[in-house]
A and B are shown apart, each in its own frame.
Chain A
């Protein structure tokens, strides 16, 4: 089977966000970049499918500036076979990224399955997976917790609200966006990290995948940090008095209960 995973490189969750002087973006100096956590579940699922189907290959793709090659190396060290990097400017929006990745997929001879993370933890828009599927022309299932593979289709358990879930059937080729819980991602072993350094990463430019600056549909501007909160009120007294006072405030002053 020809299995693909699209991944994104994002700032580590512990990153303290600082804005540029013109508030047009964030300071990227000093940021520790990681593979977006949900993408690890996508890679793991691809590798497990490959291991069950002899002769399969896993290709991992990412669109972005030169730094994202490190995220591809992480995926290759987990066990992916090939990498594809589509170079995009730092300012590319979700639409450009999705068009670039769909364009790269279209250059491949045959695509059976595409895996992604259900969202990237930087932008958190949760739209690139669906956009890739639509631009490529395949169905998608998002926020997936479990997959049963058939000969020509998948049955996916998709998480919805309130702990409920849906069982969805979709034919190949299909894009599946992974939710945490789908599997337990493996750690890259040292020999595999060494091997990953020698694996090929194909480099593509925007023009190779038919993307132009006109594909940018959204611009983020006027960045703001959340307003600093006033120091809260610590309620003193013995537990019974503390609780009485808190409930009184929530009921009478804040009026949230």
Chain B
């Protein structure tokens, strides 16, 4: 039913409609509203016999999720930021064991400096963890992608992360069609595990594997990821048949990428997550002035749809990748994946790091990016709206004084005395 509802609440209600057997989580901003709502829905008996396990840390959250999933339970958890980092060891175990856990990452920056606001450095840090990663462009798709995620996870026996921008989506109230349970039941069959800890038919899960088969187990993990590139389009089209809308939001193509005015676009902006909305508005504004701009969103970042990205971008003249995280010491994370997709094709790719630690990505700044890309004045790698004066003051201080003091505190002091 279409309702005006908070993103977190819509996700919680959607998870409830997926009828998980176990929800285990440790609260952390900005994921809190999701798990609070699920705790309540469980207590009210709205999710059948679902067990809500309020664990004492994220490490335990993922460990309980692994245990639950291994007994054949449909299992869900959610986290963000430091919480995701705290559970990293079992995160890798979950994918290595092939357990179809679904986890929401309510994207938030990683400290230090400590920061509770949005960027995507948390989920980006886990891009090589073996989990599938889907990025939501709006709250409708954030909710819907979870239904697809359970189906995909269980079909492949591989865990799936649904990444939604913290605060920007989790705390936004807007119109969302929360999937009806009857339709979800139709789309998402009962979970039939490939492996299960069952006293009647005992097995052990989690063997130590030496050089004789470790490569092969890892190869199969990679193989399943690539298999997902075939399955996601099938599940997406089935989703659309059942629910009457695309799982990954407007303008989405096969659940893999979002294509907005790419047909004749000379400049293409590439991004993941909620910033696509602002980018689409910028594209419309530029198109009104006759500028051939387009946008591409990546829904499935892992597996990375190399072929789709290549097909979508190969006719562009300039590509600007807007990234909410980066790899210090080299630059863009998404950009390097785009370069892999376009290998052998000569297209200028600029990387712009934007929206770190909650800095708003404004329509004005996005529009300026397009202009600078057109005029060729955009550096290969840059930070959107960087306060150059603030940075230079600290660099100067470092030159002049050996004991220049703590960096973050210095910058805050400088800001306070402006």
Do A and B pair up? The answer is no
